[in-house]
């Protein structure tokens, strides 16, 4: 087993996250807790012919940005013609409230055109980044720009092979962004209201995934899946806690967000023959002498990281998996699988969704195939049991659906659809 050690003197830890929103809102990438899990219950287990009722359907444009929902509004990004936009819609009827031009259109023949990042909505603010690295803080009510940066120009970052894809993370008053800059500016913490840089750290290669924040052993950590490694830094000052080497293929594509397995483990996965792994993080206190303290002793926290398992039988290329009852459900390229989170052992596999995406709610997987097939399946390790399915979109569907207040929002490269998942609205 591999072990990597890091050490730090504990400072003041910052807690918090996205501001309190509606109980069933979905204000950022992968939902309120960045885990792809909704707390909603009462989903329809039997669907009418043609699938759940369509509440509205609106034209959109190219791109793969996720869909955020907060305070009765829907936010996403898309490209239309030569322009890229952030858009805000009325959640009840799909009518446009405002749009903001965020950049010129990003054209990429292999990976697809348009934006990738998902807007993060935090009260009166919306934070997002264009596919070409223009970062914005917008007023979520009217779409007016509050502050902005050009990540390439202002932080000496670079244009990733597949575009800027990481979605911003809010922690209390801080806003964390994977900038990818040189000279210790890979991760930057901003004052979310003013845009001031509070700290920056490390020089790493961008890996396309979005960061998460977790607390292990009382230590708040920012977990980042960079291009060449998984790393943990202090939310307080960016100091490195630990890292775990992980390199994938020719382009170092790490698109799937790390998954926290409470109380002390992290799951990561990537494709191109690499696979998946679970590492365990152990926080230990010790004492060290301090010359500044007249030879006395002070607390020192040491963090040890141990590889629990690693194999090639789960390879998340685009979509992030979900965790439920110590089992991980996700796409091994075009095969939907369930594996034991503790051992990595495969429990079952199923086909029929291509290289799809998924989230979890009410004890069920909500699965969107890459050609628009929507499925509902029990989240159980015993076997794949599909409860319902329907074709709800066509064309390329690489964006994970969003569930908020009984409505499911899904998109392709041309339109967005809102479906009633409870039959009560």
Flag whether the pTM goes above 0.85.
yes
Residues 6 or more apart whose Cβ sits within 8 Å of residue 174: 14, 189, 190, 191, 192, 198, 235
Selected residue with higher pLDDT from 286 and 236: 236
pLDDT for 296: 54
**Rounded CA gap, 159 and 156, in Å?**
10
**Rounded CA gap, 284 and 302, in Å?**
5
Domain ranges for the chain, please list them: 28-420
CA atoms within 13 Å, Cβ hemisphere of 344: 20
For the segment 145-160, the average pLDDT, to the nearest whole number, is 97
Confidence label for 17 from pLDDT (cuts 50, 70 and 90): very low
Q: Which CATH architecture has domain 28-420?
A: 7 Propeller (2.130)
Q: pLDDT tens-digit profile of 230-270? A: 999 999 999 999 999 999 987 899 999 999 999 999 999 99
User: Which residue in the block uniquely carries the two structure tokens 């009633």?
Assistant: 420
pLDDT for 160: 94
Can you tell me whether residue 224 is helix, strand or coil?
Answer: strand
């Amino acid at each position: 087993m591999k072990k990597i050690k890091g050490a730090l003197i504990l400072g003041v830890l910052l807690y918090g996250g996205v501001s309190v929103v509606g109980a069933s809102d979905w204000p950022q990438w992968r939902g309120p807790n960045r885990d792809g899990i909704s707390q909603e219950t009462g989903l329809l287990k039997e669907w009418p012919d043609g699938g759940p009722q369509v509440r509205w359907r609106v034209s959109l444009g190219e791109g793969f940005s996720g869909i955020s929902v907060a305070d009765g509004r829907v936010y996403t990004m898309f490209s239309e013609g030569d322009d890229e936009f952030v858009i805000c819609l009325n959640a009840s009827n799909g009518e446009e409230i405002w749009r903001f031009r965020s950049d010129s259109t990003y054209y990429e023949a292999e990976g697809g055109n348009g934006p990738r990042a998902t807007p993060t909505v935090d009260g009166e603010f919306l934070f997002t980044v264009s596919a070409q690295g223009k970062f914005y803080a917008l007023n979520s009510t009217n779409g007016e720009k509050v502050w902005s940066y050009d990540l390439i120009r202002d932080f000496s970052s670079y244009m990733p092979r597949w575009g800027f894809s990481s979605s911003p993370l809010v922690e209390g008053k801080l806003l964390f962004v994977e900038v990818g800059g040189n000279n210790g500016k890979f991760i930057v913490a901003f004052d979310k209201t003013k845009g001031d840089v509070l700290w920056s750290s490390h020089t790493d290669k961008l890996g396309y995934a979005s960061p998460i924040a977790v607390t292990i052993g009382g230590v708040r950590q920012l977990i980042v899946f960079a291009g060449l490694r998984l790393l943990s830094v202090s939310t307080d000052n960016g100091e490195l806690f630990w890292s775990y080497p992980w390199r994938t293929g020719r382009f170092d594509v790490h698109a799937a967000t790390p998954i926290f397995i409470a109380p002390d483990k992290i799951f990561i996965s990537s494709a191109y023959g690499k696979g998946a792994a679970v590492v365990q993080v152990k926080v230990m206190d010790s004492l060290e002498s301090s010359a500044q303290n007249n030879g006395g002793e002070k607390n020192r926290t040491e963090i040890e990281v141990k590889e629990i398992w690693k194999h090639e039988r789960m390879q998340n290329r685009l979509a992030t998996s979900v965790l439920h009852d110590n089992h991980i459900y996700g796409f091994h390229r075009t095969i939907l699988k369930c594996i034991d989170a503790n051992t990595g052992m495969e429990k079952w596999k199923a086909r029929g969704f291509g290289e799809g995406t998924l989230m979890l709610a009410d004890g069920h997987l909500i699965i969107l195939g890459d050609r628009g097939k929507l499925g509902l399946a029990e989240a159980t390790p015993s076997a794949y049991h599909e409860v319902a399915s329907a074709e709800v979109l066509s064309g390329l569907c690489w964006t994970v659906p969003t569930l908020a207040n009984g409505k499911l929002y899904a998109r392709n490269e041309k339109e967005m659809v809102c479906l009633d998942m409870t039959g009560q609205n």
